[in-house]
């Protein structure tokens, strides 16, 4: 076994006899959660800090009723998106808990043979009848009955008298658990199948895990698991329980209330680098004022000992801001490449044949400077690829004022149709300014109806670059269509 040196930072554990072996041990029972991603990244950072370091991916797939293979695939895909995969030599696995069933059974039997566990045939009702306070848990009735295995007999661990068990948690410090408060817990069911508490330890032993870094919700399992390690004659791993992640209302992040699936962030157009950066700051900080920091710089600085024990706020607004910064830092070609799933994929709202890469390239720098997530690219550029602008009633009602709106559009139509009108953003701006001035309108008021006629919306990319990109013919036809609608509206209003 490795020799633990509890008084040194975890980075120094690397100099002890065994290389660092961390693990990420998700249960494939649902969408991959941002909290799981944070645990994986912390384990990954530590594993990458030494050449021999490894992070084991262990899929805890023993809850047959709740597992689904697609969740396992989702976990592997999501980890790869974050940069955690077998393409890196620090990665090991995936291993599946279900393949270790023999070891789980053998260990349970060994604990029984060594007198560290005993069979118990008490039903829940019987225990309840014997206890005044059922919350106290099992009363130890079968401890010395010497029952052999048999139907209806579960195997319980004999929690040593005395105690307490002291868990030295790398984040929380010393946590004491009085043995009087730990019942003789079940480690295997009557059918021989192991409980989580045992399977998890046996796998960690088999996989020679040196550091267990996981969510705070497992802290209460830890004294039991430490007792199991000790009963097996082994030194427990370094324990580190990460702070709970909370939402804006300071409530624990939950899949019912909050957007927690990593995949939803990916689908919305968060960049993996921004996500990794942000997740690393949930409970940890590099130690100076810098927050935006790439993995390559962050990973060597990470230390479990520096993780904070108080809850970490998952601030979606801050994540968005991070993402915007990462988007702006991309090379233009890379930005264009990363937008492709939204532009030329099936999800794009226009006919794929109408997507024009050259047109997008022309406006891409404008788009890059204003989106916070890549999916926002679509409402910014859809007017370029849809045969007609989107219908957005709110924008229409705001910009298309009867009378003045129509007059502005008529004047713009005449000016833009003039063959002498140069078709560049600058010239179009001057034209709009002058046209507006002739009607007593400032530029802001003058351009609003033009923008809504051409793009469908009151907000979007800079207007004059948009007009240039769309071309004279399409601009004129859209202004013509908007005018027709406006005139009809005016007519209807007059008749009413
Ligand atoms: N499979 C457990 C879970 O997903 C994790 C156990 C552990 O990390 O020890 O909560």
| CATH number of the CATH domain containing 89 | 3.40.50.620
Range of the domain at 368: 331-381
Query: Which ligand 1 atom is at minimum distance from the Cα of 29?
Result: 4
| Same-domain check for residues 201 and 341 | no
In a domain, 338, yes or no: yes
Tell me the C-alpha distance between 406 and 75, whole Å. Answer: 55
Q: For atom 7 of ligand 1, which residue has the closest CA?
A: 25
Tell me the C-alpha distance between 328 and 317, whole Å. Answer: 17
Residue 401's pLDDT is 82
Burial class (CB in 10 A: 0-12, 13-18, 19+), 218: middle
Closest CA to 235 of 216, 210, 265: 210
In a domain, 207, yes or no: yes
Distance of alpha carbon 136 from the chain centroid: 38
CA of 27 to the centre of ligand 1 (A): 6
Residue 289's pLDDT is 86
pLDDT digit string (tens) for the chain, length 496 residues: 333 333 344 444 444 458 999 999 999 999 999 999 999 999 999 999 999 999 999 999 988 788 888 999 999 999 999 999 999 999 999 999 999 999 999 999 999 999 999 999 999 899 989 988 877 789 999 999 999 999 999 999 999 998 899 999 999 999 999 999 999 999 999 999 999 999 999 999 999 999 999 999 999 999 999 999 999 999 999 999 999 999 999 999 998 899 999 999 999 999 999 999 999 999 999 988 899 999 999 999 999 999 999 999 999 999 999 999 999 999 999 999 999 999 998 889 999 999 999 999 999 999 999 999 999 999 999 999 999 999 999 999 999 987 889 999 999 999 999 999 999 999 999 999 999 999 999 999 999 999 999 999 999 999 999 999 999 999 999 999 999 999 999 899 888 8
DSSP state of 16: S
Query: Which ligand 1 atom is at minimum distance from the Cα of 60?
Result: 1
Q: Which of 218, 228, 239 to mutate to test the pocket of ligand 1 (most atoms within 8 A of CB)?
A: 218
Which protein residues are within 6 Å of ligand 1, measured from CB? 25-27, 60, 200, 214, 218
Query: Which ligand 1 atom is at minimum distance from the Cα of 23?
Result: 8
Closest CA to 57 of 96, 31, 101: 96
Task: Give me the catalytic one of 255, 259, 442, 491.
Answer: 255
Distance of alpha carbon 290 from the chain centroid: 21
Residue 17's pLDDT is 59
Active site residue 255: yes
In a domain, 279, yes or no: no
Q: Considering Cα of 201, then 239, then 241, then 178, what sign does the dihedral take?
A: positive
| Same-domain check for residues 31 and 178 | no
| Same-domain check for residues 15 and 124 | no
Residue 91's pLDDT is 98
| Same-domain check for residues 234 and 358 | no
Helix (H) or strand (E) holding 75, with range, is helix 69-82
End-to-end Cα spacing for the chain: 89
pTM over 0.75: yes
SS3 69: helix
Query: Which ligand 1 atom is at minimum distance from the Cα of 217?
Result: 10
| Same-domain check for residues 91 and 205 | yes
In a domain, 436, yes or no: yes
| Same-domain check for residues 180 and 126 | yes
In a domain, 301, yes or no: no
Tell me the C-alpha distance between 61 and 73, whole Å. Answer: 12
Instruction: Kindly provide the b/e burial profile for residues 445-459, where b requires at least 16 CB atoms within 10 angstroms of the residue's own CB.
Output: bbbbbbbbbbbbbbe
β-pairing verdict for 21-24 and 54-59: parallel
| Same-domain check for residues 76 and 205 | yes
Last residue of a domain, one of 246, 270, 288: 246
Tell me the C-alpha distance between 42 and 280, whole Å. Answer: 7
β-pairing verdict for 54-59 and 91-96: parallel
| Same-domain check for residues 143 and 202 | no
In a domain, 296, yes or no: no
How is 136-200 classified by DSSP, letter by letter?
G----TTTTT-PPS-TT-EEEE-PPSS--EEEEETTTEEEEE-GGGS---EEE-TTSPBPHHHHH
Tell me the C-alpha distance between 263 and 257, whole Å. Answer: 16
- Integer CA distances (angstroms), 215 to 218, 239, 327, 337, 403, in order: 6, 11, 30, 36, 63
Total structural domains within the chain: 4
| Same-domain check for residues 342 and 203 | no
Residue 357's pLDDT is 95
Residue 6's pLDDT is 39
In a domain, 143, yes or no: yes
Residue 15's pLDDT is 43
β-pairing verdict for 154-157 and 211-215: unpaired
Burial class (CB in 10 A: 0-12, 13-18, 19+), 269: buried
DSSP state of 2: P
| Same-domain check for residues 202 and 144 | no
CA of 59 to the centre of ligand 1 (A): 9
In a domain, 375, yes or no: yes
| Cβ neighbours for 160, distance < 8 A, ≥ 6 positions apart | 179, 227
- Integer CA distances (angstroms), 73 to 44, 77, 96, 127, in order: 19, 6, 13, 42
- Integer CA distances (angstroms), 441 to 226, 407, 434, 490, in order: 76, 11, 9, 21
| Same-domain check for residues 81 and 207 | yes
| CATH number of the CATH domain containing 172 | 3.90.800.10
| Same-domain check for residues 221 and 357 | no
Tell me the C-alpha distance between 124 and 168, whole Å. Answer: 33
Tell me the C-alpha distance between 35 and 286, whole Å. Answer: 19
CA of 297 to the centre of ligand 1 (A): 28
CA of 214 to the centre of ligand 1 (A): 7
């Amino acid at each position: 076994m490795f020799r633990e040196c509890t008084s040194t930072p975890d980075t120094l554990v690397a100099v002890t006899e065994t290389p660092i072996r961390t693990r990420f041990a998700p249960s494939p029972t649902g969408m991959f959660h941002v909290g799981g991603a944070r645990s994986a990244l912390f384990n990954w950072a530590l594993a990458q800090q030494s050449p021999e370091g490894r992070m084991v991916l262990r899929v805890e797939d023993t809850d047959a009723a709740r597992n689904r293979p697609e969740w396992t695939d989702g976990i592997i895909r999501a980890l790869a998106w974050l940069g955690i995969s077998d393409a890196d030599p620090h990665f090991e696995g995936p291993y599946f808990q279900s393949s270790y069933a023999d070891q789980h059974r053998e260990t349970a039997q060994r604990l029984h043979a060594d007198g560290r566990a005993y069979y118990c045939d008490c039903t829940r009702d019987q225990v309840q009848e014997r206890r005044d306070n059922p919350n106290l848990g099992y009363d130890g009735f079968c401890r010395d009955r010497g029952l052999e295995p048999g139907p209806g007999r579960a195997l319980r661990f004999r929690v040593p008298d005395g105690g307490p068990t002291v868990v030295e948690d790398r984040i929380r410090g010393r946590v004491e658990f009085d043995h009087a408060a730990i019942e003789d817990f079940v480690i295997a069911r009557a059918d021989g199948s192991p409980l989580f508490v045992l399977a998890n330890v046996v796998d960690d032993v088999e996989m020679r895990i040196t550091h267990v870094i996981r969510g705070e919700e497992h802290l209460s399992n830890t004294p039991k698991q430490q007792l199991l390690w000790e009963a097996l004659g082994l030194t427990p791993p370094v324990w580190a329980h990460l702070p709970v992640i909370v939402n804006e209302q300071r409530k624990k992040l939950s899949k019912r209330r909050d957007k927690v699936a990593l995949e939803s962030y990916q689908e919305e157009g968060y960049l993996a680098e921004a996500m990794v950066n942000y997740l690393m700051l949930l409970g940890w900080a590099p130690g100076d004022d810098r927050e935006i920091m790439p993995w390559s710089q962050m990973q060597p600085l990470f230390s479990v000992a520096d993780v904070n024990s108080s809850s970490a706020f998952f601030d979606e607004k801050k994540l968005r801001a991070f993402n915007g910064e990462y988007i702006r830092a991309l090379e233009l070609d890379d930005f264009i490449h990363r937008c492709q799933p939204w532009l030329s994929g099936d999800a794009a709202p226009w006919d794929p044949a109408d997507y024009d890469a050259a047109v997008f390239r022309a406006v891409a720098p404008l788009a890059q400077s204003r989106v916070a997530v890549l999916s926002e690219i679509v409402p910014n550029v859809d007017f370029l690829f849809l045969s007609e602008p989107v219908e957005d009633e709110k924008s229409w009602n705001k910009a298309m004022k009867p009378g003045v709106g129509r007059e502005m559009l008529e004047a713009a139509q005449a000016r833009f149709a003039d063959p002498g009108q140069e078709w560049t953003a600058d010239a179009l701006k001057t034209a709009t300014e002058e046209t507006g001035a002739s009607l007593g309108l400032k530029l802001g008021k003058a351009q609003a109806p033009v923008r809504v006629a051409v793009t469908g919306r009151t907000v979007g990319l800079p207007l004059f670059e948009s007009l240039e990109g769309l071309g004279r013919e399409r601009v004129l036809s859209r202004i013509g269509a908007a005018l027709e609608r406006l005139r009809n509206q005016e007519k209807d209003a007059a008749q009413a």
